[in-house]
Amino acid sequence: MKRIIISLSIMIGLIWLISCSRERIEPTQQLNSYEPIDDYLDSKKQEEQEFEITEEGDSPIQGLQGTKIWIAKDLLMFPDSSDVDFPFTVKLVELYTAKDMIYYQLPTVERPKILETDGEIRVRVFKEDENGVVQELLLKPDRVFAIEMPTDSVREDMKVYYGYTLNNKPDWTADVSDVNGNSADLYFTENSNSYSAFIGKLGWINCGKPHLGFNGLTFTSETDELDNVGIFVYQPTYQTVSQAYALTSDNFEDSTFVKVIAMGINSDNELFYTYLGVELNSSGSIPITLESISDDQLTALLDSL
């Protein structure tokens, strides 16, 4: 009798401790909410460089980070196909670091593939028309311009990618059907410490190489609403930057080591972050808990990527 009572008591106690739930009456946990991160990232973007071209010359335009551009007025036209005269303005953005790509929210992908990259640049040309309206110029049909992109270590078989927007998301393509494909290079020429190519379209250009993977990350949180949080995945080996959309990253190859950086900003302009390293052997879910961080600390963290 004593044994029966003891056994029943233990059974009852175990059921209580192991299996019981108060979920039906527990209050819903309020998640930390954040404002859209776009304004903060925009505020940290690299300044666009401007070069006023007033006369013909042999010297290339050279950006602060070493990009060189050779572009002549005879290559250019107004959108109505009329010719262009001096002066005109060349605008250049150079994104050679993960930090700069993140600030510009410009992932290196050719969906569904990721791009190994050695830099993204944007080249645009502007001129005031006869009515005093500043217009963005185009390349004339079948005309190309030359660029040279610097690198610390030359990678092989890097292709010329052009940037575009698909479903409100930035993407890249090596398809030249929309560019002056007859003369444009498909691949960059490898120099000792740079790449060079003839480019068939003004706009965003990526020096990249595609890789197809099947392991992606999804992001969850029990403490934070992630809708407005900027989540990026950086793969150091390929210098790839992936941005999570709908809390899901792009797919990476097996046995890939990636760094995840999530950034949030609240209504008081206070910054929050999560930073962690993940070895990707299969698709997985990553729980995120954001912690407070200063602007300087976050900048330093992105610099260290």
Partner 1 sequence: MRKLILILILCLSSNLDLKAGGIGVGLSAIYNFQTESVGAGFRLNFKPDNRFRVIPQAAYYPGFNKVNEYYAGLALELTIFKIKKYDFYLLAHGGYNAWLNYESSGMEGAKYSNAVLEGGAGIVKNSGCWRPFLEYRYNGKWKETNLRLGIMYVFGCKNKGYGATNKRRRSAVSCPAYN
Question: 205: helix, coil or strand?
Answer: strand
Q: Which is nearer to partner 1, 4 or 133 (CB)?
A: 4
Q: Of 23-31, 36-44, 138-146, 177-185, which segment contacts partner 1 by CB under 8 A?
A: 23-31
Q: How far is the CB of 222 from partner 1 (least distance, A)?
A: 12
Q: Of 26-34, 52-60, 114-122, 169-177, which segment contacts partner 1 by CB under 8 A?
A: 26-34
Q: How far is the CB of 17 from partner 1 (least distance, A)?
A: 11
Q: Which is nearer to partner 1, 24 or 58 (CB)?
A: 24
Q: Which is nearer to partner 1, 23 or 47 (CB)?
A: 23
| Secondary structure of 135-149 in HEC code, one letter for each residue | EECEECCCCCEEEEE
Q: Which is nearer to partner 1, 2 or 282 (CB)?
A: 2
Binding mask 197-236 for partner 1 (x = CB under 8 A): ----------------------------------------
Considering only 2, 3, 27, 55, the residue that binds partner 1 (CB under 8 A) is: 27
Binding mask 2-21 for partner 1 (x = CB under 8 A): --x---x---x--xx--xxx
- Site size toward partner 1 (CB under 8 A) is 17
The residue among 31, 23, 30, 25 whose CA lies nearest residue 220 is 31
Task: Please say whether the dihedral angle defined by the alpha carbons of residues 88, 94, 100 and 105, taken in this order, is positive or negative.
Answer: positive
Pairing of strands 145-150, 113-128: unpaired
Question: 187: helix, coil or strand?
Answer: strand
Considering only 3, 26, 59, 132, the residue that binds partner 1 (CB under 8 A) is: 26
Contacts with 177 (C-beta within 8 Å, 6 or more apart), sequence order: none
Distance of alpha carbon 267 from alpha carbon 196, whole angstroms: 45
Q: Which is nearer to partner 1, 26 or 268 (CB)?
A: 26
Q: How far is the CB of 13 from partner 1 (least distance, A)?
A: 11
* Residue 290, both tokens: 């954001």
Contacts with 268 (C-beta within 8 Å, 6 or more apart), sequence order: none
24 binds partner 1 (CB under 8 A): yes
Q: Of 1-9, 76-84, 145-153, 170-178, which segment contacts partner 1 by CB under 8 A?
A: 1-9
Q: Which is nearer to partner 1, 15 or 64 (CB)?
A: 15
Residues 49-108 that bind partner 1 (CB under 8 A): none
**271-280 β-sheet, strand order:** 240-243, 230-235, 256-265, 271-280, 291-293
Q: Which is nearer to partner 1, 28 or 165 (CB)?
A: 28
Query: Which residues make up the interface to partner 1 (CB under 8 A)?
Result: 1, 4, 8, 12, 15-16, 19-29
